[in-house]
Structure 1
Amino acid sequence: MSRREKTSPSDVEEPSALERRSTDLVTRLLKVGIDGLGPFDSAAQVARSARADHPSTESAVHAVVRQHSRLVAGNGFVTGLGGLLTLPVAMPANVFAFHVLAVRAVAAIAELRGYDTTRPEVRSAVLLTLVGADATDVLKTAGLPAGGRLTGLITSRVPRPVLMLVNKGVGFRLLARFGTQGLLRVPQRALPVVGGAVGAGVDTVMFRRITKNAEHALPPLAGAAVTPGEGSS
């Protein structure tokens, strides 16, 4: 091998570095978004509160979506207020907070419809709703059947290494999307105050797309218990 053809250390290390970032991202999304952290309620707690205030499962689901739509819009507005000056700091915070809220909303919908979000299969299914049509490719790459709904994944006992592949696949796509979304949003959010309104609108549309996907992909389980979060802590 000639000197030019030799692989540099950075070429060898880059895939493992990306893999670590992907794993860290999905771990944090699951930990904060589903399990909760500090004053940030878990998805099971959100589901229980919605169930207590609404007479039917679907009205509770719609309440969760409305509640989180407001939170997502507020997050997008606040992080866009500073315009170009604060964009380098605000953008990563906005994108991460957006996905944490999306994970919690989807997981709460899952709980309300009878799924146990302590199960690894359910947690992976929640992550898959974040990537939309890319979920099919993620499942195929992991060697799992791909379909319009995720109940096949959820009702199976999938080996943990396979679920780790699914989670990493979601993480890779989200990391790639973070960069793309950041570039697309810079012109929209460059102006102070105006950027806040634009950010709120864009984030709300994206969030609604995710929850619509989740409502289709996670139908109510037959014979599901009425009270969400049973078996969850």
Structure 2
Amino acid sequence: MLEREMMNLLDVCYDKALQGVLPGEKSIEELAEDYLYKSSSKKKAIDDLIGYQTLLCGTNGFITGLGGLLVLPVAIPTNILSTIYIQLRMIAAIAYINGYDIYSDQVRTIAYACLTGSSATKVLKNVGIKIGEKVVINVIKKIPVEVLVKINQQVGFRLVTKFGQKGLVNFGKMMPLVGGVVGGVFDTGMTLTIGNIAKKVFSE
């Protein structure tokens, strides 16, 4: 997969993630409001959201990894697509809960950066955004287009590498059952990391 194809995939997934694609699936606004309604605070709502989406991604990684080598050509694209979709819904919901405009180019681009996990810190630092500091709404709102382009270039490269078929995680998926465990553990850990990064970046 080329970097350009990865960015096109992210754009499609993000648009679908905001509205929901499954029958009866809630929009991001409805999903976020549901968590807010059931929680005593925004922080609790976000933590509960991350917890459930992490479980969802881990289950997805386990199921798509069960078939082993025989279904690998099909399972990898399916797992990548569904994982990105679930993680983008989580990130967008976190941004919405804390008052960000999830339809803006700035929030979309920063959401993509969050998908790189622990690398997001370096990606954003390269354009002058430090996750360790308080990143407020006004900072993200004012990110110029040329900076968004630079972020997307870095994100595309890192995600192509991350989801590359030569990775150790995909090698582990060649073994039935073991592949399910490997996929589930990897997706669980990565989704939890991404959720915590998003929580820091899209701070209230």
Are positions 1:46 and 2:31 aligned together? Answer: yes
2:17 pairs with 1:69? no
Does the alignment pair 1:186 with 2:164? no
CA–CA distance in structure 1, aligned partners of residues 199 and 17 of structure 2: 18
Q: Distance in 2 between matches of 1:80 and 1:22?
A: 21
The one-letter code of the counterpart of 2:59 is G
Determine helix, strand or coil for the equivalent of 1:86.
helix
RMSD: 2.5
Superposition TM-score, scaled by structure 1 size: 0.75
Name the SS of the counterpart of 2:115 in structure 1: helix
The amino acid of 1:210's aligned partner reads: I
* Structure 1: tracts of 5 or more residues without a match: 1-16, 221-233
User: How many residues are aligned here?
Assistant: 201
Letter in structure 2 aligned against 1:217: V
**Identical residues among aligned pairs (%):** 33
The letter of the residue matching 2:58 is: A
Give every structure 1 segment of 4 or more consecutive aligned residues whose post-TM-superposition deviation is greater than 6 Å.
Answer: none
For residue 85 of structure 1, the aligned residue among 70, 76, 79 is 70
Residue 20 in structure 1 maps to residue 4 in structure 2: yes
CA-CA distance at 1:60 after TM superposition: 0.9
Larger radius of gyration: 1
Pairing partner for 2:111 from 117, 120, 126:
126
Partner of 2:195: 211
Question: How does the TM-score come out when normalised to structure 2?
Answer: 0.84
Aligned to 2:180: 196
Matches within 5 A, 1:21-170: 21-39=5-23, 40-135=25-120, 138-139=123-124, 144-148=127-131, 150-151=135-136, 154-170=139-155
Question: Aligned partners of 2:39 and 2:180: how far apart in 1?
Answer: 32
| Cα-to-partner distance string for 1:98-144 (whole Å, 9 max, x where unaligned) | 12211111111111112121122112111111123533554466xx3
TM-superposition CA deviations, 1:61-81 (whole Å, max 9, x none): 122112211210121111011
